[in-house]
Chains A and B, each alone.
Chain A
Amino acid sequence: MKVSVSLTPGDRLPVLLERIKRREKYARIRAVLYSLVPVALTVILLDYANSSVRKAQNEVAALKTEATTYTTQIDTLKKNTETYQTQSQSAQGNAENYKNQVTELQAQLTETQKALSEAVSLSRAQRTIDYANPKELASRFPGSEKLLLDILDLRQRRLKWKVGGQSPQEGFDSSSFAMYILKQTRASGIDLRPGESLSEASHSLYDKLTATTKPQTGDLVFYPAGYAMFYFADPQGPFVLGMTPVGITALKSDFAKPVGYRQVQWR
């Protein structure tokens, strides 16, 4: 039988065990230290992630603030746009008004030019009468003295020509002047309807008065372009007196072909 002989001395076992324990202790320490490296790596990564997230949060906050600013600016711009749109519409309205005014002024200018050209032609047909002595002149036309004196009085006041004029202060056109004189001298058959203006009434004057073929002093002679002149006749020949674009003046009765004669009856 083979006897087992151990080469290991028994007194060395504690030393051996101590060595084993020491080795294992170092192994455990190493394991812990090795584990610390990945843990540290994790901590670094998490810290980096955390700082990135914080940075992103700060950026988001800054962007939000910026967005708020832009929103405010957009609101302001919208309000400005609305204001400018309103102003633009108002300006367009004004432009329309100015356009209308210009059109109106052009029409007035055309009318004035027409009146001026008429005035030039009228000046050629003027009849000379003695305006300096109205009373002496009036005495030559018995029965129409007041009419003549009223007309000459207004002439001295230098009444202006104005189309559609309503009063001496404003001025008159030919027919409205005739209407005004007839009203002042209380001629019959020319009463105004309620609410009717002098200018409106003057347009129907031709129809209101009685027609005649042989005019007498104080009757009305109607010419083209709306002229309504008072008829007078003296030894030098017939003439008409009334408002023209050059003012109140006497013209030869044949300065234009009459449209018709109308008899005026005085009250």
Chain B
Amino acid sequence: MDMPAKMEFLKRALASQQLTLRLQTVLAAMLFLLGITMVILSFVNPGLIVAETLKTSQRLGGTVIVASGFIPIFFSRRDKIVALRSLLNSYQHQQVGGLSPDPKLDEYFDQYFAMVLGG
């Protein structure tokens, strides 16, 4: 398989993964804001007339919401994206520099291919 096809594949795969990561980041930011707002509002007194028990649960809930935004990011395997980005950069470097093809790169590519197919 030729190098341009691999690079094109890597670009598309990266684009798709980056889109997912951006979405997760946006959702995490949104949830962070939502949660932190809830926590802050629970401390406002007497701006909001809420029972003491409700304030405690509001703080707890806000903290859970803040944390929940980051969970998908933790499980998003950003290392994979970094690896793919490195592989793509290496191919680009090889192409631009007119270097001879590095068999290690193809090996990495095959590993990734096998991992995706297997996973």
Q: A residues engaging B (CB < 8 A)? A: 1-10, 12-13, 16-17, 19-21, 24, 27-28, 30-32, 34-35, 37-39, 41-42, 45, 48-49, 52-53, 56
Contact = CB atoms under 8 A, between A and B. Distances in A.
Interface in B22-50: 23-24, 27, 30-31, 34-35, 38, 48-50
B6 to A, nearest CB: 8
Nearest to B101: A4
A52 B51 contact: yes
Contacts of A19: 116-117
A7 B109 CA distance: 9
A35 B110 contact: no
A16 B27 CA distance: 28
A31 B26 CA distance: 10
Given A24-B16, A37-B68, A42-B38, A6 B54 contact: no
8 contacts: A6-B1, A7-B110, A31-B24, A32-B23, A41-B61, A52-B51, A53-B49, A53-B50
B61 A45 contact: yes
Contacts, number: 111
B interface majority secondary structure: helix
Given A1-B100, A31-B27, A6 B51 contact: no
B116 A16 contact: yes
- For chain B, the bracket of interface size reads 35 or more
A38 B6 CA distance: 40
Interface in B70-113: 71-72, 76, 100-103, 105-106, 109-110, 113
Nearest to B34: A42
Contacts of B20: 24, 27-28, 31
Contacts of A34: 27, 68, 71-72
A13 B106 contact: no
A20 B119 CA distance: 10
B61 A42 contact: yes
A30 B27 CA distance: 11
A37 B65 CA distance: 9
Q: Which 4 A-B pairs have the closest CB atoms?
A: A10-B1, A4-B103, A38-B65, A35-B27
Nearest to A27: B20
A7 B117 CA distance: 13
Given A16-B113, A30-B72, A32-B27, A49 B54 contact: yes
Nearest to A1: B100
Contacts of B100: 1
B72 A13 contact: no
Contacts of A41: 61, 64-65
Given A12-B113, A53-B49, 9 more contacts: A13-B5, A17-B13, A27-B20, A27-B24, A34-B72, A38-B35, A39-B34, A48-B54, A49-B58
A80 to B, nearest CB: 37
A106 B5 CA distance: 137
Contacts of A1: 100
A13 B9 contact: yes
A7 B106 CA distance: 8
Nearest to A21: B16
A38 B9 contact: no
Given A31-B27, A41-B61, A45-B38, A13 B17 contact: no
A28 B19 contact: yes
B49 A56 contact: yes
